[in-house]
Amino acid sequence: MDMKQVFILVLLLAPAWTCMVNSDRCCDEDALLRTAKRKLESRYPQPREVPSVADAGAPATCPLELYQKMPLLDVKDRSISPWRYVTVTNPDHFPHTYVEAQCLCQGCILVHENGSVVESHDYNSAVIEQTRVFLKRVPCPNGEGYQLMPVSQQVAVGCTCARYTS
């Protein structure tokens, strides 16, 4: 390669390189996707995704009958405040999809010594939240391309049983 070809190559790669080095710069969609992937891997590691995910549109019901068939293996199913995972999608965030816990009972499941199973409303199921960092795609001020901005968001990761407060 002669110097002229090297110079042309540098000019072609410069916009993508500056986007990857400095997220304050504007990027096209392809460079933005590469930059988001790299930043999520290095600076903002994401939690392991949960394999079994329920349909968010399906009604959430308190699974009392499961507690008559012990033993249950998964902690989300053994909890006296069980939950399911639903998929949440936000196209302007990286990652675009993630899972969130949804409590299945309003109260908490109690198993009496005689084997009867009831949902007690003396207690309530409460969401356990965790702060996660997402990269938000923001249009550049000049209208050409996008920037990445880290944003913190509370995500439900499970449910617990708590005393009822009025």
- pTM of the shown model: 0.68
End-to-end CA distance of the chain: 76
Q: Could you tell me the sign of the dihedral formed by the alpha carbons of 97, 99, 105, 108, in that order?
A: negative
On whether the 47-163 domain is CATH 3.30.70.1520, my answer is no
Tell me what pLDDT residue 103 has: 94
Burial bucket for residue 60 (CB in 10 Å: 0-12, 13-18, 19+) = middle
Q: How many CA atoms lie within 13 A of 51 on its CB side?
A: 1
Tens-level pLDDT at each residue, the chain (166 residues): 565 554 454 444 444 444 444 445 788 888 888 888 888 887 777 777 665 566 666 777 888 877 666 565 566 667 889 999 999 999 999 999 999 999 999 999 998 888 788 999 999 999 999 999 999 999 988 888 889 999 999 999 999 999 877 6
Tell me what pLDDT residue 163 has: 86
The order of strands in the sheet holding 146-163 is 93-94, 123-139, 146-163
Contact 126, 160 (CB under 8 A): yes
Tell me what pLDDT residue 161 has: 93
Tell me what pLDDT residue 104 has: 94
Tell me what pLDDT residue 115 has: 78
Tell me what pLDDT residue 59 has: 75
Q: Which residue from 54, 15, 62 is spatially nearest to 34, judged by alpha carbons?
A: 15
